[in-house]
Amino acid sequence: MNEFYTRITSCGVTAKATNQANKRVKLLNIYTLIWIHLTIIFTITDLAQGILFERIFFGHFITALTFFNLCVIIYLNYIYKFSWARGLFVITAFIVFNSSSLIVSPGIYTEYYFFLLPGLGLSLFDQKWITVSILISSIVFFFLPYHIWNLYPIDYTERLDYPSMTCLFIALYFLFNYFKKLNQQNEQLLELERDRVISDKIVLEKQEKKLRELNDFKSHFFVNLSHEIRTPLTLIQGYVSQITKKTSQKEVEEKLAVVKEQTNQMQSIINNIMDLSKMDAKQFSISTQKVEVHLFLEKIYTNFKQLFDKKEISFSLKPIAKEIFIEIDSDLFQKAITNLLSNALKFTPKGGNVILHSVITKNHFQIDIIDSGIGIPVTELGNIFKRFYQVKNDITKSKGSGIGLAFTKNIIEAHDFKIIVSSEENKGAKFSIQIPNSLCDFDDEKSKTLLATKSIDSANPEDAIKVFDSSTNIPKILVVEDHEQMRKYIKSVLSDYEVCEAENGKEALEKMKVQSYDLILTDYMMPVMDGEVFVKKVKQLKDKTPILVLTARTDNHGKLNMLRMGIDGYLQKPFLEEELLLQIKNGLKLYANTKVFEKNLQQEEKASLEAYAEKFNSKINDFITNNLVSNTLNVEEIAMHLNMSRSTLNRKTKAVLGQSTKDLIMEARLQKARTLMLENPHATKKEISAKVGISNTSYLFQKLEERFGVSI
């Protein structure tokens, strides 16, 4: 019913119209609806009193006409003809009130309805001449029964006070008018207020968006930065602790070289940040000296050659046939070119080309760094020199901080040189440093013979997939890590195992197609395919190889994500060797039995066993998870639930899941405890113990340490 009335009163209301207009349409609908109800009620009461059929025909005609007109008014509103509808309303009112007071019910004061009309007119019309006409007509029609038709006794007519009745009409008219104006003013104020609220809301939303972006950017920046710093830190810690053990002089030297390289790396990251903030504070000055461009570029070229070589990218130097001297701060200028070359190295895939090239044009001498890498979308070209800005792609997801180019640009501009970029997505990028000819010293006499282009033949990529001898019993571990030194370090720690390497998740998946591994150790942040996607894919393949994740992330969210995907453990960078070895040992132990069991099976047996194992696993795991809080949960209880004897259950879990039932329960309790600790770092040890059904707190934490190492 409510719905029906709302629909009727909203007939003709449209979002396109102003609030004022919609309000009028609604008012007219409400008046009409009330009138329809009155007509029905009057007809029913007449019927009840038995006087309905005594009425003259004209009376019935007027009732029918009223009813019909009122429906037409609603219909006109419905088809958005409000002006017609209100006109019809006023005409109907005059016809009905008049015929009622003069013909249908003469002498029973129905002319008093006219008091309502000026008010209704004011609420439906704005034009003064219309509302005043309605007022005058109402007054005139009100007096008709008294004067012209003489429907009332003479003494009553004589007593009727014409001036005061007219004043009453006028007073009512002004009163309505006053309220109408007041209402309009309030509405205008409300509208203004609403506009203000809306504009405030827009401003707030914009600010919120900016804050959110800033926040995202901040966390992305810090996550990347901590990754950049934690990786060398882990290497330094690892190698330093290896040096303290007994090692040969040669090994010590090798390790120290890596430590030095990594410290330099960290120092350069921090220096870049410091230099950038100095530039901000305008505490930045350059001290220049004359430098011969060739020699300068050749030195940088030699430094980078090896790095490009390693990544199998052809790197060449195309120098100019002249000796050119420029005034530069060689330290800073070298940093600028190094940044550009590091980017070329980072954003060019294996097999690509990078050229360090110089040319003389009419106005300037130009140094170009051209690569055939992933390129930069045209829309992003204007942003890449902004501080901390990174184009979103697979590589920047885990690498870089967006400082390099801002820093480079500042250096170049401090020399009064210019840096420009041109690029096409997936085709490569070209960064050009333009040095005005007026700032160059061309020594034509010492002209050199054109240096032959130095180009490094792309090394014959050795087959990365090492297929190991299957007869060996040494566990095979697949290390997935993009940082080469880190891979090397992990390999040195895992000297007791057979280690296979992959640079990212994608490469690892390829390797897993050819070879099976006893354990996977993967980094979390990697280009091309990161650790999260990689683990998801491995799990989708139903591969049961235990997975350990190395992460620089300190936020619980990232770790929880991983744990929920069913990895067997994670290590936070920087980690200790002992911790890594312990986690690997436990991971391998957990799956050893399953592997042995599976090895002895035929292919079909394996498939049907897998299906059975999955069912069995989910049954037993569900039961354990649901009853974990109880400290009485034991093998008997599970055996009873699965309807088998204790010894059958033990045999089955060992064969199918590679662990005894007792171990399974303990593993579930330990995993749950670890997840709970991450979810709620403030939970007390006692609370954690209670939630995983172990009453002896110190026993639980000792077990956690044994299982996951020092990070607990």
Smallest separation (angstroms) from ligand ADP to the CB of 376? 5
CA 164 to chain centre: 74
- The secondary structure of residue 451, as a DSSP letter, is P
Smallest separation (angstroms) from ligand ADP to the CB of 468? 37
Q: Which is nearer to ligand ADP, 40 or 378 (CB)?
A: 378
Residue 348: strand, helix, or coil: coil
CA distance 655 to 593: 7
Smallest separation (angstroms) from ligand ADP to the CB of 300? 16
Smallest separation (angstroms) from ligand ADP to the CB of 560? 27
Instruction: Using CB under 6 A, pick the residue from 231, 234, 272, 343 that binds ligand ADP.
Output: 343
Using an 8 Å Cβ cutoff, are 336 and 354 in contact? no
Angle at 579 between CA 574 and CA 580, to 5 degrees: 80
Instruction: Using CB under 6 A, pick the residue from 111, 329, 368, 371 that binds ligand ADP.
Output: 371
Q: Which is nearer to ligand ADP, 27 or 421 (CB)?
A: 421
**527 near ligand ADP, judged by CB under 6 A:** no
Q: Which is nearer to ligand ADP, 255 or 399 (CB)?
A: 399
| Amino acid (one-letter) located at 707 | R
How many other C-beta atoms lie within 10 A of the C-beta of residue 581?
Answer: 15
Using an 8 Å Cβ cutoff, are 692 and 627 in contact? no
CA distance 36 to 371: 82
Angle at 681 between CA 680 and CA 685, to 5 degrees: 95
Query: Which one of the spans 368-376, 609-617, 634-642, 685-693 is the region binding ligand ADP (CB under 6 A)?
Result: 368-376
Three-class DSSP labels, 373-389: CCCCCHHHCCCCCCCCC
Q: Which is nearer to ligand ADP, 114 or 347 (CB)?
A: 347
- x/- string (CB under 6 A) for ligand ADP, residues 380-409? ----x----xxx----x---xxxxxxx---
Q: Which is nearer to ligand ADP, 336 or 521 (CB)?
A: 336
Residue 356, H or E segment: strand 353-360
> Cis link prior to 118 (omega < 30° from 0)?
no
Return the biggest CA–CA distance within the chain. 137
Residue 63 tokens, joined: 């009732």
Classify residue 282 as left (phi > 0), alpha (psi -120 to 50) or beta: left
Return the axis-axis angle of helices 249-280 and 404-414, rounded to nearest 10°: 60
Smallest separation (angstroms) from ligand ADP to the CB of 390? 3
Q: Which is nearer to ligand ADP, 429 or 552 (CB)?
A: 429
Q: Which is nearer to ligand ADP, 102 or 395 (CB)?
A: 395
Instruction: Using CB under 6 A, pick the residue from 145, 238, 373, 505 that binds ligand ADP.
Output: 373
Strands (E), 469-572: 476-480, 498-502, 519-523, 547-551, 569-572
Smallest separation (angstroms) from ligand ADP to the CB of 402? 4
Window 165 to 184, contacts with ligand ADP (CB under 6 A): none
How many other C-beta atoms lie within 10 A of the C-beta of residue 317?
Answer: 20
Which residue has tokens 């590679």?
658
Smallest separation (angstroms) from ligand ADP to the CB of 347? 3
Q: Which is nearer to ligand ADP, 384 or 550 (CB)?
A: 384
Smallest separation (angstroms) from ligand ADP to the CB of 660? 50
Instruction: Using CB under 6 A, pick the residue from 324, 376, 411, 525 that binds ligand ADP.
Output: 376
Residue 619 tokens, joined: 């049954």
Instruction: Using CB under 6 A, pick the residue from 118, 119, 352, 375 that binds ligand ADP.
Output: 375
Which residue has tokens 């400082």?
403
Smallest separation (angstroms) from ligand ADP to the CB of 273? 11
What residues contact residue 47 under an 8 Å CB cut-off, 6+ apart? none
Smallest separation (angstroms) from ligand ADP to the CB of 611? 46
CA distance 276 to 228: 17
Q: Which is nearer to ligand ADP, 403 or 529 (CB)?
A: 403
Window 411 to 470, contacts with ligand ADP (CB under 6 A): 429
Smallest separation (angstroms) from ligand ADP to the CB of 698? 46
Smallest separation (angstroms) from ligand ADP to the CB of 346? 6
Q: Which is nearer to ligand ADP, 406 or 521 (CB)?
A: 406
Instruction: Using CB under 6 A, pick the residue from 146, 347, 489, 534 that binds ligand ADP.
Output: 347
Q: Which is nearer to ligand ADP, 9 or 390 (CB)?
A: 390
Window 322 to 341, contacts with ligand ADP (CB under 6 A): 339
Smallest separation (angstroms) from ligand ADP to the CB of 352? 10
Instruction: Using CB under 6 A, pick the residue from 341, 344, 613, 670 that binds ligand ADP.
Output: 344
Smallest separation (angstroms) from ligand ADP to the CB of 397? 10
What residues contact residue 228 under an 8 Å CB cut-off, 6+ apart? 269, 399, 400, 401
Instruction: Using CB under 6 A, pick the residue from 374, 526, 584, 656 that binds ligand ADP.
Output: 374
Smallest separation (angstroms) from ligand ADP to the CB of 421? 8
Rounded to the nearest 5 percent, the helix, strand and coil shares of the chain are 60, 10, 25
With CB under 6 A as the rule, give the number of residues binding ligand ADP.
22
CA distance 230 to 266: 9
What are the residues facing 548 on neighbouring strands?
521, 569
Check the CA dihedral 705-708-709-712 and report its sign: negative
Smallest separation (angstroms) from ligand ADP to the CB of 612? 50
Q: Which is nearer to ligand ADP, 384 or 494 (CB)?
A: 384
Angle at 73 between CA 67 and CA 75, to 5 degrees: 105
CA distance 550 to 480: 9
Q: Which is nearer to ligand ADP, 226 or 617 (CB)?
A: 226
Residue 649: strand, helix, or coil: helix
Q: Which is nearer to ligand ADP, 387 or 536 (CB)?
A: 387
Q: Which is nearer to ligand ADP, 391 or 633 (CB)?
A: 391
Using an 8 Å Cβ cutoff, are 351 and 458 in contact? yes
What residues contact residue 92 under an 8 Å CB cut-off, 6+ apart? 65, 66, 69, 70, 73
- x/- string (CB under 6 A) for ligand ADP, residues 282-321? ----------------------------------------
- Please report, as ranges, the residues that interact with ligand ADP according to CB under 6 A: 339, 343-344, 347, 371, 373-376, 384, 389-391, 396, 400-406, 429
